[in-house]
Structure 1
Amino acid sequence: MKAIVYRGPRQVAVEERPDPKIEQPGDAIVRITTTNICGSDLHMYEGRTSVEEGKILGHENMGIVEAVGPGISRIKVGDRVSVPFNIACGTCRNCIGGWTSFCLRTNPTEGMDGAAYGYANMGPYDGGQAEYLRVPYADFNLLELPPGTEHENDFTMLSDIFPTGWHGTELARMQPGDRVVVYGAGPVGLLAAHSAMIRGASQVFVVDKEKDRLDLAGKIGATAVDFSRGDPVEQVLDATGGRGADCGVEAVGYQAHDPSGDEHPELVLDNLVKSVRSTGGIGVVGVYVPEDPGAGSDAAKEGRIGFDYGTFFAKGQHMGTGQAPVMRYNRHLRDLIIGGRAQPSFLVSHELPLSEAVEGYDRFDKREAGWTKVLLRPSESA
């Protein structure tokens, strides 16, 4: 099969790899119909993680079941499915508690709970930016979708970024009528804003500096805040009569940078503490890592982010963090799509065959104007 393989900083290649096979009774093989380039993939692409050379990338996957192991009883060959990026056993303490993003059994990496496809430090699993993907514990993990091709671009968001955006609002303990501020208008941030709108926010602010992303935020009814034009905290406070937002979502992560391009991993956390009212909540779904050798300070290289904890404490705010347990939300979000209440595909800018993925990575990584979300079609040729 053809697959996208990591070959070093800012180097990926389309290569021939062996087709995956059933290795355990609970496995399924999925023929990938759509797989996405995620903003999180760019951390690896840029050489800011310990991902090993030769890894097949891709954790946002959907497709058709081609084969199942002898232990499978629910999923059938021919089913159209979404593949959560979390690889979960379904029976450990965290999975039973609904925290499939922190499965205790699927990741042999020392000190790391939770596994994923094609991702650094999250187990030995190949990703789905390929023609086929092996899915462990398939009866537990796979989400059935209506047959056919309807909502393909919406459903492909169910594997990660739509549940992750929703999770940000959950971690912030958002309530109907809240004013919500989202920092970062990348795909996750835009879907956090979309989630907040669906959940009944009275107003949603989206902070970024890229015009194409802010335009998309405006199209879904959010208030765009361009931080290249002035302090975003002041803009949010001015718009809320000095009170601040009721809660906020961090959708940027450890590579946050100022308008001049200098990295400040604490920048968004500081701004959220200032932008959110006292006793308000902050949900952090932007990626932070235990070690970042490419960081600009010794502390950040060790994963130590010196944000304004004193003000956070003084304001009595609360913060939730971590990767989304996709299965907690994906069924509900699927049905919101089917019912016409959610349309996460509004952010899709490019649909490419797998053969054009190298260019797709390059242009998405450069944040070129108009490149907001890239979908790959392994079954299509250039």
Structure 2
Amino acid sequence: MPELPSYDGKTMRAVFWKGHPYSVSVQSVPQPTILHEEDAIVIITASAICGSDLHIYRGLLGSEQPPWSLGHEAIGVVTAVGEATENVKVGDRVLVPDIPDDGYINMGVPAFEDSRLFGVGRDFGGLGGLQAQYARVPFADNTLLKLPYYEDKDKDLDYLFIGDIWSTGWICLDQSGFQPGETVAVFGAGPVGLLCAYSALLRGASKVYIVDYVQQRLDKAREIGAIPINFAKGNAATQIMQLEPQGVARSCDCCGYECVNEELQPQQNAIINDMVRVTALNGGIGVVGVYSGQAPAPGRPLAGTIPPTLEFPIAEAWLKNLSIGMGLANPKPLAPRLMALVETGRAKPRFVVSKVIGIEEAEEAYRAFERKEEIKVVIRFAE
């Protein structure tokens, strides 16, 4: 059994969003406690800053009323459980996925704000964030994923990304209809895009093109065997089709509604247009990049600057018989397979990590991530 970290038992440090764009703070707040008999309290040992956090950081996404603590991917150790929690025990090392169980079988299509998510505020379940020393996890038996014992602490970083970004990249491939041997174009070489490309190669893609304009990201893509495409040097679809005249079988949007065109100017449908153009006849498109239609509010003051609709080249997509899959990715059903790939050493998604910090460095890390100076920042806690 791993040794439990010890804190003062009263307060903890956590990263907070207060509704001011491009600003977060690290502050002391009360530690969470068991509220329901199916809860667990987890001491976080590693968390991370995600591209989705930047949508909040920029004032575009989140609950109506700030403040709230940030973060939605973490691993840790269970330190307390409610009376009805049976499978998860104190001392278990666990993965905390970004979407916890809500205790219901959901048959309908929920509104975005009805989703229960860590680190997005009270309108999304009010669960608190995982960029913190402790977290309360609801319905712990059905939410937490037990990790096997391992001595190599670097393996933390492989398991960590199963809770969000690696699962999200993998699911984007599924949305596109990917099959082994096919060609793939991934738009966006942030952490999700890099792990989407990595997953495509792991799953037997013949070629993977990855589109971005940040050289550090493109260099990392080349290191894993993907073919980098710098769209600032010319339209991405045009560049890819010079190499693949018939187009690629599958395209994946791992960026979303904050995308820019080749002049690096905001254009909400830039990636959608390129994907429809570059995807071959009878091909498929996957979209895991965020497209949110929230109205402005104090917790998301700039949400109204990006409209909830966009122009879509439907005639071309229809004529090419393209299929499109999209939506919020849920890691839990996929997690056992990805955990097996890590446990056996077949996959090491930690390659996306560019910096490991302590929580007190989080404010500067957010600024560096926003400036695209870091690919993926992990927050480690003492243990």
| Residue 322 (str. 1) matches residue 327 (str. 2) | yes
Is the 2:102–2:116 contact (alpha carbons within 8 Å) kept by the matching residues of 1? no
Match in the other structure for 2:61: 49
Q: Deviations over 1:159-186 (max 9, x none)?
A: 1000000000000010010001100000
| Residue 276 (str. 1) matches residue 275 (str. 2) | no
The counterpart of 1:343, out of the listed 309, 323, 348, is 348
The counterpart of 1:9, out of the listed 15, 21, 30, is 21
Q: Deviations over 1:136-193 (max 9, x none)?
A: 0100011111234531111111110000000000000100100011000000000000
Match in the other structure for 2:133: 131
Match in the other structure for 1:258: 261
Report the CA distance between 1:93 and its aligned residue: 3.3
Q: SS of the residue aligned with 2:113?
A: coil
Q: SS of the residue aligned with 1:93?
A: coil
Match in the other structure for 1:99: none
Distance 2:85 2:234 in 1: 56
Distance 1:231 1:292 in 2: 32
Report the CA distance between 1:296 and its aligned residue: 8.6
- How many residues matched? 362
Report the CA distance between 1:34 and its aligned residue: 0.4
Note closer, same or farther for the CA distance 1:285–1:111 as it changes in structure 2 (3 Å cut). Answer: closer
Is the 1:49–1:292 contact (alpha carbons within 8 Å) kept by the matching residues of 2? no
The counterpart of 1:64, out of the listed 52, 63, 77, is 77
The counterpart of 1:183, out of the listed 170, 181, 187, is 187
The counterpart of 1:374, out of the listed 371, 374, 377, is 377
Match in the other structure for 1:203: 207
Match in the other structure for 2:48: 36
Report the CA distance between 1:123 and its aligned residue: 2.3
Distance 1:62 1:119 in 2: 18
Match in the other structure for 2:4: none
Report the CA distance between 1:227 and its aligned residue: 0.8
Letter in 1 for 2:115: G
Q: Deviations over 1:99-151 (max 9, x none)?
A: xxx7x6xxxxx663421101154221101110000000100011111234531
Match in the other structure for 2:5: none
Structure 1 stretches of 5 or more lacking a match?
A: 96-101, 105-109
Match in the other structure for 2:314: 309
Letter in 2 for 1:78: G
Report the CA distance between 1:50 and its aligned residue: 4.1
Distance 1:307 1:291 in 2: 20
Structure 2 stretches of 5 or more lacking a match?
A: 1-11, 297-301
Q: Deviations over 1:267-293 (max 9, x none)?
A: 101100001101111010001102365
Match in the other structure for 2:115: 114
Q: Deviations over 1:259-317 (max 9, x none)?
A: 433211111011000011011110100011023654797xx42x011121221112110
| Residue 82 (str. 1) matches residue 95 (str. 2) | yes
Note closer, same or farther for the CA distance 1:148–1:339 as it changes in structure 2 (3 Å cut). Answer: closer
Q: Deviations over 1:71-109 (max 9, x none)?
A: 1110111111111101223541359xxxxxx7x6xxxxx
Match in the other structure for 2:173: 169
Distance 2:359 2:158 in 1: 19
Q: Root-mean-square deviation (CA), in Å?
A: 1.8
Note closer, same or farther for the CA distance 1:118–1:140 as it changes in structure 2 (3 Å cut). Answer: same
**308-317 or 22-31, larger mean C-alpha shift:** 308-317
Match in the other structure for 2:36: 24
Report the CA distance between 1:6 and its aligned residue: 0.6
Is the 1:30–1:65 contact (alpha carbons within 8 Å) kept by the matching residues of 2? yes
Letter in 2 for 1:89: D
Q: SS of the residue aligned with 1:11?
A: coil
Q: SS of the residue aligned with 2:365?
A: helix
Distance 1:252 1:267 in 2: 11
Distance 2:159 2:130 in 1: 15
Distance 1:199 1:94 in 2: 31
Letter in 2 for 1:219: E
| Residue 362 (str. 1) matches residue 373 (str. 2) | no
Q: SS of the residue aligned with 2:274?
A: helix
Match in the other structure for 1:285: 288
Distance 2:304 2:332 in 1: 36
Percent identical? 38
Distance 1:142 1:296 in 2: 35
Note closer, same or farther for the CA distance 1:268–1:111 as it changes in structure 2 (3 Å cut). Answer: closer
TM-score, normalised to structure 2, is 0.91
| Residue 333 (str. 1) matches residue 333 (str. 2) | no
Task: Provide runs of 4+ in structure 1 moved above 3 Å.
Answer: 110-113, 292-297
Report the CA distance between 1:25 and its aligned residue: 0.7
Distance 1:192 1:156 in 2: 16
